[in-house]
Structure 1
């Protein structure tokens, strides 16, 4: 591999999909490339993210790295984690020696090995925190946050995420900088329907995961059916490997409630805008803490009302938007109430959609985000005149 004459930034990421933190990573990489850096992204496995990274001008290299997940707590998971750590230690060290990056940008706290490798190599570290488990035990919070104490710069995607860090180590809370996620809107936004005639078209976008409350969304559609309010739900997303059982449970629930004509499993889609444009309202029914709520912002940018759980970072993501409503997490009846109210007050919401779209475009501008990321990396990298990318 030919080394670019420009100074390099190594970006470490835990996966290769195209969900929330993956899409934010694309904007971070674009900002670094626009600032003149030679960006090398390392991921542990192949996936659709790689083609997007290359399209934006980044180099990509597969390198094993242990990813902190709940499966690590099982004996088999721990053995696999330890084995991957050994391979990642060897391959990662070699990669850092070869590239000699000006800084290492670690995207999420779930790949702490890169923080340690960078510090051992005396390379400055920037960590972008996308996680916020406010309900986790104090011990778990400290274990997850401890590697961040080695980083020169810590940034987080919400004030909620910063508070979680502060609860683990007050010093991290004082050091962390909030940078709201860049959320690009659709290239061509479809206008909302002038009135709801026939089925209310409900959309869910995201992983099919217990913590995302997809089962609650199905229960809400069943409740509307009992009330005589016709609605259909598109589930746009797929399960994480190892959670296939959850999709089976969801499909069983659909069968038991006789909702086969009301609930569609669309699967993962690289672009969600057509599905949001086809829908009338977006659901974000998470039952666990969310560090932010990219999907909620995408719903607003698409010009659709959003109904989200009143929890953690979702409250922050929906704050100030008049067409966004929050409900009790895990409460299918409350979700159904909000959906029914959307039908009954459609004209009122439709009149406010454009104002909310403009506010979201300003708050989550990719251009502003990219400039901010470039500034933080530049100030951390301690570049010399000979390595300056400009």
Structure 2
């Protein structure tokens, strides 16, 4: 499709197995945008995201780029640190990548992915900045917003929580695009069967109530320990309760504390720990209630959305986008104060104590989540954003020779040339015989010549003797 405009999407991470919410969101967006653009995803390394993209027919490029984590946790000196990236070797290499690919647009995922935005702006390529997280609201937050403003032509935020710090100063180029899903990725008719199979695999009886926690990694900021504490409170009150903790180990010490807290309790046999599930649909189908105790302000909260799609009650901390999702779907009463796991326990217990409450809440969640965030609502918002993107001026990407070279880049190139010269000299030296070898070879030749002369004399004497005998 030569007439189709090209869009490069830069992912800040590409985990090997446990795909994060930010990666899922980027892939979903790329799949949607591939109907309108020639999409290419740039990843720092091969992993789950690049594999899923390839399965969907989206080309990927592996190109490692340093991240600026101070963008989501702003600090003193952030502006100077960002400016310094323009003199980094990665800036030059990314500029060269852009010159080679010549995209019409660049989309960078998350606030920490600054270098692609800076490089694209330097080459007059329109930049769409996709903000999936909440920038910490501190005295330096304005510096982060200024950087986003300086190096973007349009900004897409996945929730009001993510948009709040930006909306105050640059609302004129800001769009809201809540995440969504496509129904072909789900199999509602199979949910009862998936539930039965998964519970059988986990050895959970049909009469037991399974409360679940799921995250890419078990970390403190995702509240894994708060889930354990809430679960132990629930276990004491409800004999029929079981618990499944899904997430990979991220820190040995923290993970060890989680396991010890459970093993030293009176309810250890009621807990299931799983590091990874390939099919989240089966996992959610097996659960009765989902708890999301995130201690950080979430940009959105895909776990809550996925649980509601499958008709599950969700109890969560009122953290950023989680509060937004539960409020918009009429689940305010199942929001707990961030950090108060006793509230999580109490609200979950209230659901377990009411006959039929799990099914009633779950069914309502399925209806409300589709009304607020379903495919139809997403497509309508996307069309508006496409109009805004297509109105951005698109120019030709400057030729490669115009890409600025930093001092660090020049030093690096000089070292490469010196290394190549050294290899050539070494190779030539290896091929050229040494003086001692040449002397030994000359000696052998001399001896061979001497032997040859002697042999010729012997032959002449023999021939002369033979002729005399004949006479």
CA distance in 1 between counterparts of 2:243 and 2:128 reads: 40
Residue 62 of structure 1 corresponds to 62
- The secondary structure found in structure 2 opposite 1:66 is coil
Residue 95 of structure 1 corresponds to 97
Task: Provide Cα deviations, 1:85-137, integer angstroms capped at 9, x if missing partner.
Answer: 94422321111001111110111111111110010010000011111144x42
Task: Provide Cα deviations, 1:310-369, integer angstroms capped at 9, x if missing partner.
Answer: 232211111243567111222222111112111112413413433321231233234653
Structure-2 change in CA distance of 1:258 and 1:15 (3 Å): farther
Task: Provide Cα deviations, 1:271-329, integer angstroms capped at 9, x if missing partner.
Answer: 31111100101111112211222111111111111101123221111124356711122
- The secondary structure found in structure 2 opposite 1:28 is helix
Residue 256 of structure 1 corresponds to 264
Do 2:41 and 2:60's aligned partners in 1 also have CA atoms closer than 8 Å?
Answer: yes
Do 1:85 and 1:113's aligned partners in 2 also have CA atoms closer than 8 Å?
Answer: no
CA distance in 1 between counterparts of 2:12 and 2:341 reads: 33
CA distance in 2 between counterparts of 1:315 and 1:346 reads: 26
- Matched pairs, number: 368
CA distance in 2 between counterparts of 1:227 and 1:155 reads: 45
Residue 408 of structure 2 corresponds to none
Do 1:27 and 1:366's aligned partners in 2 also have CA atoms closer than 8 Å?
Answer: no
Residue 219 of structure 2 corresponds to 209
Residue 278 of structure 1 corresponds to 286
Do 1:202 and 1:232's aligned partners in 2 also have CA atoms closer than 8 Å?
Answer: yes
CA distance in 1 between counterparts of 2:244 and 2:300 reads: 22
CA distance in 1 between counterparts of 2:395 and 2:161 reads: 38
CA distance in 2 between counterparts of 1:159 and 1:12 reads: 23
* Structure 1, 228-237 or 266-275: larger mean CA deviation: 228-237
Residue 13 of structure 2 corresponds to 15
Task: Provide Cα deviations, 1:205-236, integer angstroms capped at 9, x if missing partner.
Answer: 11311111110110111112333544222122
Residue 42 of structure 1 corresponds to 42
Structure-2 change in CA distance of 1:11 and 1:346 (3 Å): farther
Residue 161 of structure 1 corresponds to 162
The structure with the largest helix share of the pair is: 2
1:1-390 paired onto structure 2 within 5 Å = 6-17=4-15, 18-35=19-36, 37-69=37-69, 86-134=88-136, 136-139=137-140, 141-149=141-149, 150-166=151-167, 170-184=168-182, 187-189=186-188, 190=191, 198-206=207-215, 207-240=217-250, 243-322=251-330, 325-366=334-375, 368-369=377-378, 372-373=381-382, 376-377=385-386, 379-381=388-390, 382=392
- The secondary structure found in structure 2 opposite 1:126 is strand
Do 2:124 and 2:395's aligned partners in 1 also have CA atoms closer than 8 Å?
Answer: no
Using the TM superposition, give the Cα deviation of residue 12 of structure 1 relative to its aligned residue in structure 2, in angstroms.
Answer: 0.6
Using the TM superposition, give the Cα deviation of residue 31 of structure 1 relative to its aligned residue in structure 2, in angstroms.
Answer: 1.5
| Structure 2, unaligned runs of 5 or more | 76-80, 197-204, 397-471
Q: Highest Rg: 1 or 2? A: 2
CA distance in 2 between counterparts of 1:338 and 1:97 reads: 55
CA distance in 2 between counterparts of 1:72 and 1:47 reads: 29
CA distance in 2 between counterparts of 1:133 and 1:384 reads: 29
Structure-2 change in CA distance of 1:248 and 1:133 (3 Å): farther
Do 1:204 and 1:282's aligned partners in 2 also have CA atoms closer than 8 Å?
Answer: yes
CA distance in 1 between counterparts of 2:394 and 2:95 reads: 23
Structure-2 change in CA distance of 1:91 and 1:378 (3 Å): farther
- The secondary structure found in structure 2 opposite 1:138 is coil
User: How does the TM-score come out when normalised to structure 2?
Assistant: 0.71
CA distance in 2 between counterparts of 1:245 and 1:322 reads: 38
Q: Which has the higher contact order (CA 8 A, sep 6+)?
A: 1
Do 1:4 and 1:38's aligned partners in 2 also have CA atoms closer than 8 Å?
Answer: no
Do 1:115 and 1:147's aligned partners in 2 also have CA atoms closer than 8 Å?
Answer: no
- The secondary structure found in structure 1 opposite 2:268 is coil
Using the TM superposition, give the Cα deviation of residue 9 of structure 1 relative to its aligned residue in structure 2, in angstroms.
Answer: 0.5
Structure-2 change in CA distance of 1:65 and 1:385 (3 Å): closer
| Structure 1, unaligned runs of 5 or more | 74-78
Do 1:106 and 1:128's aligned partners in 2 also have CA atoms closer than 8 Å?
Answer: yes
- The secondary structure found in structure 2 opposite 1:119 is helix
